[in-house]
């Protein structure tokens, strides 16, 4: 199933790598984060190459709900408790700056950019909203709980972030990517000392940015333990009302709302990749109850990397991997996190100290229950008898009947029925033996 974005945009095409190349900065991954990194480096006149294994924005970016907001769930109260005022304010300021950067770049671009208020709502827990609002006040952001009648059910209130935005992500990329140095269908298969190996040639680099959604190097950084992936689902409805803002439930399994033109993008039903969930069927049942006169026009699913503490990993890839940087773990807030990543990594790759990099440091120490859960899921799957196993680290694959794919519950790799890789961290297809 394809998103509304892919159905309403034609992206520019780029050549494959013509042979061996040298560059100052190599970016691997042509989603929003990689494209923005390339754009900022080009603005600075820094030589770079972006290598994309397929077509640009053919992964997570094409399946986003495209909300541009610094409001990332109940994060600020938690950050304030764990990290204190300075780092919590860093996170807020970095993401507010990202919103402003989108507004600047979208000027003069036909990409349906609209300023909107972002709302975080709860069906039944006003106390958590009050804690989040109090935390934001301490960080210098005026936040109040308001009542909302825009949603098709009663809520306990909502916190609004004014001057946030939404847009058409692929129309945006189609404009800013046109003059960038991009090679499509250029799949990086391995590395040796400052050289990326592809089947089209080798790329020698001074600095490397991994913008591959889930990092593809398993030898460093332990990202396969520090993250897991979730699937979530969206249906676009005609004949549903305008909600006039962007809404997200504080409940992890709750619902998301935003309009695109005359359609309502109605999303939710998140679950760990490879596990059971309600998927589109549950969304459709709720849509039928809330909007009985609406009709479904599009349906798609998204996949997101979830970190241990709710903060992305942006910065030096790992202590033992010299001159390499990473942007990953966007926790369902991929648009603003992509812009934050591009700002930080374009600085770091050119030797500039970024004021926000400390809060996103990938090698920060975290003793979290989720780390044990991730380890248990991996161990259980490794010990599960199965003929089909993920080439990433050998976990047992599970058949996803709704999406007709083989999914890995350990780290979120996915494959179609013929064994072609759909989602990383797996860096290749299933073998003929496993198909």
- Examine the pLDDT at 424 and tell me if it is beyond 90: no
Compute CA distances 12 → 15, 35, 110, whole Å. Answer: 10, 13, 15
CATH code (residue 197): 3.50.50.60
Q: Name the residue among 291, 286, 289 with its Cα closest to residue 269.
A: 286
Among the residue ranges 35-44, 77-86, 383-392, the one predicted with the least confidence is 383-392
> What pLDDT does 376 receive?
77
What number is the average pLDDT over the span 18-29?
A: 97
Indicate if 316 and 221 belong to the same structural domain. Answer: yes
Q: Which two tokens stand for residue 59?
A: 């992964």
- Domain membership of residue 323 as a residue range: 4-65+171-225+310-360
- Examine the pLDDT at 130 and tell me if it is beyond 90: yes
Indicate if 410 and 314 belong to the same structural domain. Answer: no
Indicate if 354 and 374 belong to the same structural domain. Answer: no
Among the residue ranges 127-136, 240-249, 285-294, 426-435, the one predicted with the least confidence is 426-435
Name the band, by pLDDT with cuts 50, 70 and 90, for residue 432: low
* Burial class (CB within 10 angstroms; exposed 0-12, middle 13-18, buried 19+) of 246: buried
> What pLDDT does 249 receive?
96
> What pLDDT does 433 receive?
56
Higher-pLDDT residue of 148 and 180 is 180
First to last CA, the chain: 22
Indicate if 218 and 320 belong to the same structural domain. Answer: yes
The Cα–Cα gap between 72 and 59 comes to 22
Indicate if 418 and 324 belong to the same structural domain. Answer: no
Count of domains observed in the chain: 2
What number is the average pLDDT over the span 175-181?
A: 97
Q: What is the mean pLDDT of the chain?
A: 93
| pLDDT tens sequence across 90-112 | 999 999 999 999 999 999 899 99
The per-residue DSSP string of 284-307 comes to HHHHHHH-TT-EEEEEEEEEEEEE
In a domain, 84, yes or no: no
> What pLDDT does 435 receive?
54
Indicate if 377 and 350 belong to the same structural domain. Answer: no
| pLDDT tens sequence across 24-66 | 999 999 999 999 999 999 999 999 999 999 999 999 999 999 9
In a domain, 277, yes or no: no
- Examine the pLDDT at 72 and tell me if it is beyond 60: yes
Domain boundary among 318, 337, 360: 360
In a domain, 431, yes or no: no
The Cα–Cα gap between 11 and 136 comes to 39
> What pLDDT does 1 receive?
77
Domain boundary among 360, 386, 401: 360
In a domain, 130, yes or no: no
- Examine the pLDDT at 294 and tell me if it is beyond 80: yes
What number is the average pLDDT over the span 135-148?
A: 91
The Cα–Cα gap between 285 and 299 comes to 14
- Examine the pLDDT at 393 and tell me if it is beyond 90: no
In a domain, 25, yes or no: yes
- Examine the pLDDT at 218 and tell me if it is beyond 70: yes
Indicate if 351 and 377 belong to the same structural domain. Answer: no
CATH code (residue 389): 2.102.10.10
Among the residue ranges 8-17, 161-170, 280-289, 376-385, the one predicted with the least confidence is 376-385
Indicate if 376 and 323 belong to the same structural domain. Answer: no
The Cα–Cα gap between 225 and 307 comes to 9
What is residue 81's three-state secondary structure? helix
Domain boundary among 319, 334, 360: 360
In a domain, 354, yes or no: yes
Name the pTM for this structure. 0.94
Name the band, by pLDDT with cuts 50, 70 and 90, for residue 278: confident
User: In the 3-class helix/strand/coil scheme, how is 420-434 assigned residue by residue?
Assistant: CEEECCCCCCCCCCC
- Give the rounded percent of residues in the chain with a pLDDT score beyond 90: 77
> What pLDDT does 384 receive?
77
> What pLDDT does 148 receive?
82
Among the residue ranges 92-96, 213-217, 311-315, 428-432, the one predicted with the least confidence is 428-432
- Examine the pLDDT at 135 and tell me if it is beyond 80: yes
- Examine the pLDDT at 372 and tell me if it is beyond 90: no
Indicate if 373 and 351 belong to the same structural domain. Answer: no
- Examine the pLDDT at 434 and tell me if it is beyond 80: no
Contact by Cβ (8 Å): 298, 307: no
β-sheet bridge partners, residue 247: 119, 257
Q: Which helix (H) or strand (E) holds 130?
A: helix 126-138
């Amino acid at each position: 199933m394809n998103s509304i974005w892919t159905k309403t945009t034609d992206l520019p095409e780029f050549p494959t790598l013509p042979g061996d190349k040298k560059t100052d900065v190599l970016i691997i991954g042509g989603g929003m984060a990689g494209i923005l990194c390339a754009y900022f480096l080009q603005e600075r006149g820094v030589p770079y190459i972006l290598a994309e294994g397929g077509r640009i924005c053919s992964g997570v970016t094409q399946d986003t709900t495209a909300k541009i907001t610094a409001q990332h769930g109940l994060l600020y109260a938690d950050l304030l408790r764990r990290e204190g005022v300075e780092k919590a304010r860093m996170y807020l300021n970095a993401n507010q700056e990202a919103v402003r950067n989108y507004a600047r770049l979208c000027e003069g671009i036909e990409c349906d950019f609209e300023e909107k208020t972002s709302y975080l709502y709860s069906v039944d827990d006003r106390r958590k909203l009050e804690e989040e609002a109090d935390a934001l006040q301490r960080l210098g952001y005026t936040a109040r709980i308001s009542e909302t009648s825009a949603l098709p059910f009663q809520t306990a209130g909502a916190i609004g972030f004014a001057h946030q935005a939404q847009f058409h992500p692929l129309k945006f990329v189609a404009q800013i990517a046109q003059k960038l140095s991009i090679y499509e269908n250029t799949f990086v298969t391995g590395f040796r000392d400052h050289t990326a190996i592809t089947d089209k040639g080798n790329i020698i680099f001074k600095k490397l940015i991994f913008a591959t959604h889930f990092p593809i190097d398993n030898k460093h950084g332990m990202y396969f333990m520090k993250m897991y992936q979730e699937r979530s689902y969206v249906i676009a409805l005609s004949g549903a009302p305008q909600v006039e803002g962007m809404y997200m439930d504080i409940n992890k399994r709750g619902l998301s709302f935003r309009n695109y033109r005359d359609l309502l993008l109605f999303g939710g039903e998140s679950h760990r990749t490879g596990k059971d969930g309600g998927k589109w069927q549950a969304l459709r049942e709720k849509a039928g109850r809330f909007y009985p006169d609406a009709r479904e026009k599009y349906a798609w699913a998204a996949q997101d990397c979830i970190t241990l503490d709710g903060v992305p990993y942006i910065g030096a890839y790992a202590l033992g991997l010299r001159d390499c940087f990473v942007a990953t773990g966007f926790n369902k807030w991929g648009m603003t996190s992509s812009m934050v990543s591009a700002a930080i990594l374009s600085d770091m790759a050119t030797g500039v100290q970024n004021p926000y990099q400390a809060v996103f440091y990938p090698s920060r120490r975290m003793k979290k229950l989720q780390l044990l859960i991730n380890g248990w899921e991996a161990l259980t799957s490794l010990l599960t008898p199965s003929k089909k196993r993920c080439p990433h680290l050998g976990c047992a694959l599970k058949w996803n009947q709704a999406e007709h794919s083989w999914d890995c519950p350990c780290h979120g790799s996915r494959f179609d029925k013929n064994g072609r890789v759909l989602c990383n961290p797996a860096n290749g297809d299933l073998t003929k033996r496993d198909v």
